[in-house]
Structure 1
Amino acid sequence: MAASLSVNLNAVAMLRNRRDLPWPSVVGLGRVALQSGAGGLTVHPRPDQRHIRFSDAPALRELIDGEFPGSEFNIEGYPSEDFLQLVESVRPDQVTLVPDDASQATSDHGWDLVANRALLAQVCERLRAGGMRPSLFVDGGIGEDLVGIAKQVGADRIELYTGPYGGCFDDPAAAAAWIEKLGVTADHARDLGLGINIGHDLTVENLPALMARIPYAAEASIGHALTADALLYGMPETVRRFRRALGQAI
């Protein structure tokens, strides 16, 4: 079964926030993405709310519950108390924990699972108690012992940080090496019973090769390239293009 496409709406929200106006509509474009076959929506609220605002999260939850009950809502973020209170009030289907510093422009590394083991165990237990699926953002290339920590702290899935692979768009040899690094880590996770998500700098062009190596991936969270392509092709056709790149039958 091909991976589900979760459309990350952060770039849409960033464009909206350039003006004190309600367009482009985050909820409206989320609706179009789901109508076009996306399996879910992703947002990554940050403390300064420079793109997705905390107030967007309940509106998107309402959209999914009211119009697309078979779809999933994924909220990403660093597990600060403010963030945890947000997800506990909105109850997304999945919470992807990332080790971002508040000043980071975007996610650029996975968790140090050894140093943060106690924190992640505590947070995963709290999320599971609230009926949410915990997923941990991890680097490709980590070994079975580190993937095992993700399992031990209570995560249900990992999300492989694919940024370095996306950065190899002009270097086929380096891209092939990163595909194998990501694939080996994914294999370890699968063997341990963890689900595998992928995300960061994924495009229509680089997805097929990665999916050929990790055909059992459950979800791909894609925002930047998808939003850029939507300016050229429109959101409905862009969603269809990414679904085809993931191996979905359209």
Structure 2
Amino acid sequence: MPGPRLSVNINAIAALRNRRDLPWPDVVGIGRIALSAGAYGLTVHPRPDERHIRRTDVFAVRDMIRAEFPDREYNIEGYPSEDFLQLCEAAKPDQVTLVPDDPAQNTSDHGWDCAAHAAMLKGVASRMQGQGMRLSLFLDADPALVPAAAATGARRIELYTGPYGHTFDTAEKAKRLEELARTAEAATAAGLAVNAGHDLTLDNLPPLVARVPEIAEVSIGHALTADALIHGMAETIRLYRAACGDPVS
């Protein structure tokens, strides 16, 4: 069975660019290198304060993918404010991933309580998917959360892998891996496809892929960008594809 497809989150590239009032590193150019090296898609997470990805980036990245890599996927993730939803409707990505972040959060650190937000999430799922965009919900590793996620009408979940990625204790890591596996199994049984993301690295990705073969896509940004400083972006994409079990020529 082939491993998950790799979507490269380019937020960290944008954050580095935004440290200075300069146009480099070029978010679109780095994204192009990643796709040319075999990444399946690109992910952006625009926030209201534009501290990394800007609204203009959302459209520039989309235009590059559509013109040069029409077989690749574009994923926009964010909190479903009305501004965010309108941005997605204007940009028309292949996938919209909803995260329950406060706008001030540094990064995502938990998944949805889909039961508590059922009405809102159902409405967003219908709205986005009615316009041809696949909806994915960021979800903690707990199989008990799956039925409420499935009831929203979303087509995918994205497993929050932070607790797995954060720990280096062998027993704790094994426990977290089993939680992810059981949640993925429950999601598949409920008719949901499974993505995964957060704090995935070249070291912890292979055990995850081996234990959770249901994962269709991984979204990786921080560690991948850090590794690209050492290996270069193209070689880093090849390393992560290999870690996903994707044959690399």
- In structure 2, distance between residues paired with 1:167 and 1:216: 22
Residue identity opposite 1:241 in structure 2: L
- In structure 2, distance between residues paired with 1:18 and 1:127: 33
Aligned-residue Cα RMSD (Å) equals 0.7
Residue identity opposite 1:154 in structure 2: G
1:237 aligns with 2:235: yes
Unaligned runs of 5+ in 1: none
- In structure 2, distance between residues paired with 1:149 and 1:21: 45
The corresponding residue for 2:133 is 132
Secondary structure of the residue aligned to 2:55 is: coil
The corresponding residue for 2:175 is 177
Total equivalences in the alignment: 247
The corresponding residue for 1:95 is 96
The corresponding residue for 1:51 is 52
Structure 1's consecutive aligned runs of 4 or more residues displaced over 3 angstroms after TM superposition are none
Superposed, which structure 2 residues align to 1:51-90 within 5 Å? 51-90=52-91
Cα deviations by residue, 1:157-202 (Å, 9 ceiling, x for unpaired)? 000000010101x211111110000110000001111100000000
Secondary structure of the residue aligned to 1:55 is: helix
The corresponding residue for 1:156 is 155
Residue identity opposite 1:235 in structure 2: M
Q: What percentage of residue pairs aligned between the two structures are identical?
A: 61
Deviation for aligned residue 1:40:
0.1
- In structure 2, distance between residues paired with 1:225 and 1:39: 17
Residue identity opposite 1:164 in structure 2: P
Deviation for aligned residue 1:41:
0.1
- In structure 2, distance between residues paired with 1:173 and 1:141: 18
Cα deviations by residue, 1:130-175 (Å, 9 ceiling, x for unpaired)? 11000000000242xx31121111100000000010101x211111
Residue identity opposite 1:181 in structure 2: E
TM-score of the aligned structures, taking structure 1 as reference length? 0.98
Secondary structure of the residue aligned to 2:215 is: coil
Unaligned runs of 5+ in 2: none
Secondary structure of the residue aligned to 1:218 is: strand
CA contact under 8 A between 2:143 and 2:186: conserved in structure 1?
no
Deviation for aligned residue 1:114:
1.3
TM-score of the aligned structures, taking structure 2 as reference length? 0.98
Paired residue for 2:210, among 187, 209, 212?
212
Residue identity opposite 1:50 in structure 2: R
Residue identity opposite 1:63 in structure 2: M
Secondary structure of the residue aligned to 2:135 is: strand
The corresponding residue for 1:105 is 106
The corresponding residue for 1:201 is 199
